[in-house]
Amino acid sequence: MARMTAPGEEMHALVERLYPLCRSITGDGVRATLDIVGEYLPLQVHEVPTGTQVLDWTVPQEWNIRDAYIADASGRRVVDFAASSLHVLGYSVPVARTMPLSELRAHLHTLPDRPKWVPYRTSYYKPEWGFCLAQETLDALPDGEYEVRIDSTLADGHLTYAEHVVPGQVPDEVIVSCHVCHPSLANDNLAGIAVATFLARSLAERNPYYTYRFIYAPGTIGAITWLARNKERVEQVKHGVVLACAGDRGQLTYKRSRRGDAEIDRVLRHVLTASGRPHEIREFTPYGYDERQYCSPGFDLGVGSLTRTPYAGYPEYHTSADNPDFVSPEAMADTLAVCREAFAVLDRNRSYLNLSPYGEPQLGRRGLYDALGGRSDTKEAQLAMLWVLNLSDGEHSLLDVAERSGLPFDTVATAADALRGAGLIKA
């Protein structure tokens, strides 16, 4: 894995800053998160009213919470939302009661096999209330009466999501999507947000071929809302990646799109293989993150998912142990580097037509061999020109050339630039 870089440290600092906020699928925690991301990137924020029909779903009521606790007879808070946003069941309805521990237990969630960790639990679409706490905390509670208070509201409001667009040379789009709905979970949520944000800044420093659209939306309902509001223009989306679990120390994992052989699938496989990084390529399944929405059969977009350790694949997943110490600057910098490498390939991957296809054209008199003089890889560059000429039949892309020849993609793309400049191939 790459040595810690400045972007890695900056991304980790962003994770630490976002970590305390209580996010959910709606509410002020999402807005506060987007406000902070907005300090790094200009965002277009969208507010979609409660009750709006979005495909087969309806935008729910907005949930906000101000305080929550369980207090013993002395008034001491034995469970306190102020200490961690994970302590409250997400979307809990308001409660203000006193009850015995025997009755309270039905509303308490723990991880008996991980007694020091607090689980993350939600009840978005069923009116419930509850608390999450460490099993060792529960075990230490004596029988007796407890004050239970959840100061929350469920009311008509809005679902909030945001977009950032990096303009390209063409209007065809690549989408990069991350979810902004989890509370204090550093890897599953915040690392993806941080990598997406710094990736957008990086792309803006070059002149990309594609237009890149970054989507910051609540999981499932947010992606569905985006798709519902963009049905007429979704044909512009040519490629895409969902980013999640981007900061743990596990190896990179790419999950293919539903198509299985979309260009983005081939690009990520090529980049990961050529880099020599330990990695895994997984087939598509309709379970996981929002790739399952973008890849639903009515849309069938070429959108894969890039993670390190995948969905639910590490013990800390959806627990208090997924904290800023669990994610590393080096891992986030490595994820960012792979994204940059993949999009560099995607931006340069073209199919060309050989304008002198009968026999091998004379490269020397066009100065193409002279142009390579002094390069350490002169022989490889010459071979790349011959491969590009041979496979420029309008059907093979530069990625095809790189994979078939075994040459680095950058060498192949540079050869194509030289041949196009000499008038020997055209896009």
Question: Tell me: the pLDDT tens digits for 306-346?
Answer: 999 999 999 999 999 999 999 999 999 999 999 999 999 99
What would the DSSP string read from start to end of 224-237?
A: HHHHHHTTTTGGGE
Q: Taking 90 as the threshold, does the pLDDT of residue 409 lie above it? A: yes
How far is the C-alpha of 17 from the C-alpha of 21, rounded, in Å?
Answer: 8
Tokens at residue 217, please?
């939306």
Q: What share of the chain is helix, strand, coil (3-state, %, to 5)?
A: 35, 25, 40
Residue 364 confidence class, pLDDT cut points 50, 70, 90: confident
Question: Tell me: the pLDDT tens digits for 9-30?
Answer: 999 999 999 999 999 999 999 9
Q: Taking 50 as the threshold, does the pLDDT of residue 1 lie above it? A: no
Q: Taking 50 as the threshold, does the pLDDT of residue 3 lie above it? A: no
How far is the C-alpha of 370 from the C-alpha of 363, rounded, in Å?
Answer: 9
Tokens at residue 180, please?
């902004």
Q: What is the structure's pLDDT at 11?
A: 98
Q: What is the structure's pLDDT at 308?
A: 98
Q: Taking 60 as the threshold, does the pLDDT of residue 375 lie above it? A: no
Residue 379 confidence class, pLDDT cut points 50, 70, 90: confident
How far is the C-alpha of 123 from the C-alpha of 80, rounded, in Å?
Answer: 19
Strand partners, 165: 213
Q: What is the mean pLDDT of the chain?
A: 95
Q: What is the structure's pLDDT at 376?
A: 59
How far is C-alpha 328 from the chain's CA centre? 16
Residue 169 confidence class, pLDDT cut points 50, 70, 90: very high
Tokens at residue 153, please?
């509201």
- Tell me what percent of the residues of the chain surpass a pLDDT of 90: 93
Q: Measured between alpha carbons, how far is residue 104 from residues 71, 78, 98, 100, 114 in Å?
A: 12, 13, 9, 6, 21
Q: Taking 90 as the threshold, does the pLDDT of residue 305 lie above it? A: yes
Cα dihedral sign, 78-83-86-90: positive
Tokens at residue 160, please?
């909030």
- Tell me what percent of the residues of the chain surpass a pLDDT of 70: 97
Quote the DSSP letter at residue 257: -
| Residue owning tokens 């008996």 | 112
Residue 371 confidence class, pLDDT cut points 50, 70, 90: low
How far is the C-alpha of 374 from the C-alpha of 40, rounded, in Å?
Answer: 42
Tokens at residue 171, please?
């209007």
Question: Tell me: the pLDDT tens digits for 245-294?
Answer: 999 999 999 999 999 999 999 999 999 999 999 999 999 999 999 999 99
Domains of the chain (ranges, CATH numbers): 6-60+159-348 (3.40.630.10), 64-155 (3.50.30.90), 351-426 (1.10.10.10)
Q: Taking 60 as the threshold, does the pLDDT of residue 304 lie above it? A: yes
pTM of structure:
0.95
Q: Taking 50 as the threshold, does the pLDDT of residue 187 lie above it? A: yes
Q: What is the structure's pLDDT at 4?
A: 41
Q: What is the structure's pLDDT at 373?
A: 52
Q: Is 246 helix (H, G, I), strand (E, B) or coil?
A: coil
Cα dihedral sign, 201-176-211-259: positive
The side-by-side arrangement of strands in the sheet containing 303-307 is: 44-49, 158-166, 211-217, 173-179, 237-243, 303-307, 252-255, 279-282
Q: What is the structure's pLDDT at 384?
A: 94
Question: Tell me: the pLDDT tens digits for 141-159?
Answer: 999 999 999 999 999 999 9
